Structure 1
Amino acid sequence: MNVRAVVLCALGLTGLAPLAEAAAPEQTPRPPLTRGAGALVGAEPAATAAATPSSPPMQPPSAPLAGPTPDPLRLRPLDRPASPQHAALMRRPADLQGTAPLATPRPETRSPDIAQQVLFGRAKKRRGSVCGNFDIQGEKVGDIAGRLKGCGASDAVRVKSVAGVQLSTPALMTCDTARALHKWVENDVEKAFGRGNRVVRLRVAAHYACRTRNNRPGARISEHGRGRAIDISGFTLEDGTTISVLKGWLDKPSRKAMRRIWQAACGPFRTVLGPEADLYHRDHFHLDMARHRSGRYCR
């Protein structure tokens, strides 16, 4: 054996020892579950730990953590402390009576006289109502035959008041027209001039009349001739003041309210004509139920 072979053999034998010492252990040690200064929880037995001299031992922290030392076996968070309300409730004596009543007290029973008046008032409104609405007061008239071709109305009624607002004269119309008038008065007219000074009366300028439009010869039959139109020329308030369409449309104190209720009528009614429509309607609102191809017609 030459010198070179002897040297290589010597180098191979000396390099095996470090490799044998650095060999991996049969089982990797588990890390501790919790940190702290105490003993490791869940660590391997001493025999296993001794078999791995290459692993450095765990060093305790230089300073303990602030606060109480947590229980290493407790993985859930601590319960919240009791609130002051809960503590006060626990200190409350068991025999202490509550301040709230056991049941809500009932209102006093109405006297028989008041109950009778209410029932009498409802029965009276029921007897005087038309078109299936207690707030539309009047009387049934039935079918009306017109003297001109195209005039007349079916199941007409004579309306005296709507939504508690009186009409200056009983107006003859169909139930569709009466319902539209009631909706307009209840939603827009009654409080148009102020909640403290409500409208209590409508001045009726025209209702059913078998005639042509604007009384012109040869013109078409007006919606008044079918019981589907009504003209309103003024509004009477609770304080006795009457605001006419002719003056109220231009007067500064009332013109905003006049334009507001004129515009609101274009909803329940399909045709609404006011002072700016033409000379025939400068002193009243014309409201009717005529159908138009383009929708509602409001001027």
Structure 2
Amino acid sequence: MRKIGCSHLIFCVALAATTANAAAPETSIVPLTRPETTQAMVAVVTPNIRPVLRPASPQVTAAAARPAELPLLGPENSIRPFVRPEALEQRVFLKKRKLRKGSVCGDIDIQGKPVGRVKGKIKACGIKDAVQITSVSGVGLSRPATMDCGTAQALNNWVDKTVKPTFKRRGPVVELQVAAHYACRTRNNRKGARISEHGKGRAIDISGFKMADGEVVTVLNGWRKNPSKKQLTKVWRGACGPFGTVLGPNSDRYHRDHFHLDTARYRSGTYCR
């Protein structure tokens, strides 16, 4: 067959159209319509999920039950602390001022008065800067006790950290029964013995603890009786640390009715017995 050239534009266009119509399919491919039954089936199978109402909170329920005359709290009527009355502020100020005036050793919790230098009858006795203590951490002493500031601070620490918490439920404790404080004498008053720490203002003996209701827990009667024994043992053990020497009824016959507490320090550490 001889190849025919396409020299005329109109003829070539007509020829291309005839060729395209000859190659076209008899029917075109069109996507089928989804059957109606399929949509209905999907509607039946798919559950109708809706949010469930949350039950009312206890706060809302309580608010609804409040009487109409009681307003609900809000930013405009919230509970605020009342301003302290001026008279009460004045009393608090005067009390603190009085405590500062009666404090010694640079601590408002240690009440008493300065005594100054105390000379002893024996050369080894005496206190350079003595103070006379009347109370520590709000707990009074049955009688003023003379000592140095180191011993006063140890006593205050012991009462605050151990004595008061131990007798909190039974008490509160309001007074320490003082059996002995400064005295220029030998240890246990024995002839020829070394000078006691009492003679240096570094010791105090406590024989009992008085509660707010008037009850007195004594070392002599309570050391071997419950519940006093447990409490007395706890305060005796708590003194080991603030004080360098702690002696109680188990140490010897000289201390069966009191705790001996002094601030002497040893190379081996605190001596507690």
Equivalent in 163, 167, 170 of residue 189 of structure 1: 163
1:192–1:198 Cα contact (<8 Å) kept: no
The reply on whether 1:286 has 2:271 as its aligned counterpart is no
Identify the residue that residue 102 of structure 2 maps to in structure 1: 128
1:176-199 CA distance string (max 9 Å, x none): 000100110111111313435211
Identify the residue that residue 166 of structure 1 maps to in structure 2: 140
Q: Mind listing any 5+ residue stretches in structure 2 that lack a counterpart?
A: 1-72
- Secondary structure in 2 aligned to 1:190? helix
1:206–1:232 Cα contact (<8 Å) kept: yes
Give, in angstroms, the shift of residue 217 of structure 1: 1.2
Equivalent in 183, 186, 191 of residue 217 of structure 1: 191
Identify the residue that residue 249 of structure 1 maps to in structure 2: 223
- Secondary structure in 1 aligned to 2:90? helix
Alpha-carbon distance between aligned partners in 2 of 1:109 and 1:247, rounded to the nearest angstrom: 49
The reply on whether 1:239 has 2:213 as its aligned counterpart is yes
2:187–2:196 Cα contact (<8 Å) kept: yes
Give, in angstroms, the shift of residue 264 of structure 1: 0.5
Alpha-carbon distance between aligned partners in 2 of 1:283 and 1:121, rounded to the nearest angstrom: 36
Identify the residue that residue 57 of structure 2 maps to in structure 1: none
Alpha-carbon distance between aligned partners in 1 of 2:170 and 2:83, rounded to the nearest angstrom: 31
Q: Mind listing any 5+ residue stretches in structure 1 that lack a counterpart?
A: 1-98
Give, in angstroms, the shift of residue 253 of structure 1: 2.1
- Secondary structure in 2 aligned to 1:109? coil
Give, in angstroms, the shift of residue 147 of structure 1: 1.0
2:170–2:211 Cα contact (<8 Å) kept: no
What aligned pairs does 1:65-84 form with structure 2 within 5 A after superposition?
Answer: none
The reply on whether 1:180 has 2:154 as its aligned counterpart is yes
1:106-157 CA distance string (max 9 Å, x none): 5322222111111110100011111111111100101111110110111110
Alpha-carbon distance between aligned partners in 1 of 2:157 and 2:129, rounded to the nearest angstrom: 20
Distance 1:172 1:101, change over 3 A: same
1:208-234 CA distance string (max 9 Å, x none): 001111111111111000000000001
- Secondary structure in 2 aligned to 1:252? coil
Which deviates the most, 105-114 or 157-166?
A: 105-114
Distance 1:145 1:103, change over 3 A: farther
Alpha-carbon distance between aligned partners in 2 of 1:102 and 1:154, rounded to the nearest angstrom: 63
Q: Structure 1 counterpart of 2:229, which letter? A: R
Alpha-carbon distance between aligned partners in 2 of 1:295 and 1:279, rounded to the nearest angstrom: 24
Give, in angstroms, the shift of residue 100 of structure 1: 5.7
TM-score with structure 1 length normalisation?
A: 0.65
TM-score with structure 2 length normalisation?
A: 0.71
Structure possessing the higher relative contact order (Cα contacts under 8 Å, 6 or more residues apart): 2
Q: Structure 2 counterpart of 1:277, which letter? A: S
Q: Structure 2 counterpart of 1:229, which letter? A: A
Identify the residue that residue 266 of structure 1 maps to in structure 2: 240
Alpha-carbon distance between aligned partners in 2 of 1:143 and 1:128, rounded to the nearest angstrom: 19
Alpha-carbon distance between aligned partners in 1 of 2:191 and 2:262, rounded to the nearest angstrom: 21
Q: Structure 2 counterpart of 1:268, which letter? A: P
Query: How many equivalent residue pairs?
Result: 203
1:42-65 CA distance string (max 9 Å, x none): xxxxxxxxxxxxxxxxxxxxxxxx
Give, in angstroms, the shift of residue 251 of structure 1: 1.0
Coordinate RMSD, CA, aligned: 2.0
1:143–1:154 Cα contact (<8 Å) kept: yes
1:16-59 CA distance string (max 9 Å, x none): xxxxxxxxxxxxxxxxxxxxxxxxxxxxxxxxxxxxxxxxxxxx
Alpha-carbon distance between aligned partners in 1 of 2:85 and 2:101, rounded to the nearest angstrom: 25
Identify the residue that residue 199 of structure 1 maps to in structure 2: 173
